[in-house]
Amino acid sequence: MEAFMTHDGLVAPLDRVNVDTDQIIPKQYLKSIKRTGFGDYLFDAWRFLDEGDIGMTPNERRINHEFALNQPAYQGASVLLARDNFGCGSSREHAVWALQEFGFRAVIAPSFADIFYGNCFKNGLLPIVLEENIVSDLFSRAATGLNLAIDLEAQTVRTADGDVYPFEIDPGLKTKMLTGMDDIAMTLAERNLIETFERGHRAAQPWLFLRGN
């Protein structure tokens, strides 16, 4: 996983509440067995005016120029500004892969859905929770071009004007992001603990082990 320490980037606003993962990456693209190739289809039904399918490239699509991510001012944006409950719905991690591949390194919102939030930390996409009034303020400033400097170690988001917004983050998740360490390797380092637990669990509830080892 790519580590996340600091990031300085342009903000793209997505002014909608309850953006679900079906919108972030529609189902037809989930047929892929790979972890890559989703960036071209991010927010597919909003970015394009035609129905997309796996294998199509953006230059053969009809662009929706109204949609924020297609507007010239937000080209090259790497910080997505969103509303409440971003990433709700399906557990598809493809949503995170698509956001990253499109070029986003962080998403700022007043709240996130649980599964999406967890999936971000498996991939190095930083979800940042800021209070609703701050997010609203950032939305009004994003219209004229807003750059934000994110410092994960310091847990701050800073504007070019010098405004600084601190954010909260679980210490375990923070460490994981800063180091980019492999979750599985970390857990396997606790192999003895798991094996000990498993022996006790098997003794206590043997019916859970009927389908074999």
Q: Report residue 105 as tokens.
A: 């390194």
Kindly tell me which of 34 and 144 has the beta carbon lying closer to other proteins.
Answer: 34
Pairing of strands 79-81, 106-109: parallel
- Pick between residue 120 and residue 146 the one whose CB is nearest to other proteins: 120
Nearer to other proteins, 9 or 38 (CB): 38
* Closest CB 182 distance from other proteins, rounded Å: 8
Q: Closest distance between other proteins and the C-beta of residue 90, in Å?
A: 5
Contacts with other proteins by CB under 8 A lie at 15-18, 20, 22-23, 26-28, 30-35, 45, 51, 54, 83-85, 88-94, 96, 111, 113-115, 118-119, 122-123, 170-173, 175, 183-184, 187-188, 190, 193-194, 197-198, 201, 204-213
Q: In angstroms, rounded to a whole number, what is the distance separating the alpha carbons of residues 188 and 172? A: 17
The tokens describing 200, both together, are: 């006790």
Identify which of residues 16 and 65 has a Cβ nearer to other proteins in the complex.
16
Q: How far is the CB of 141 from other proteins (least distance, A)?
A: 18
Nearer to other proteins, 28 or 75 (CB): 28
How far apart (Å, rounded) are the C-alpha atoms in residues 134 and 139? 9
Please count the residues of the chain: 213
CA distance 118 to 166: 20
Token digits of residue 126:
């930083």
Q: How far apart are the first and last CA of the chain?
A: 30
Q: How far is the CB of 66 from other proteins (least distance, A)?
A: 13
- Kind and range of the H or E run holding 150: strand 147-151
Q: How far is the CB of 63 from other proteins (least distance, A)?
A: 16
CB of 198 to other proteins, least distance (A): 7
Pick 9 or 26: Cβ nearer other proteins? 26
> Tokens 């892969």 correspond to what residue?
97
Residue whose C-alpha is closest to residue 103's, from 181, 168, 39: 39
Distance CA 152, CA 167 (A): 9
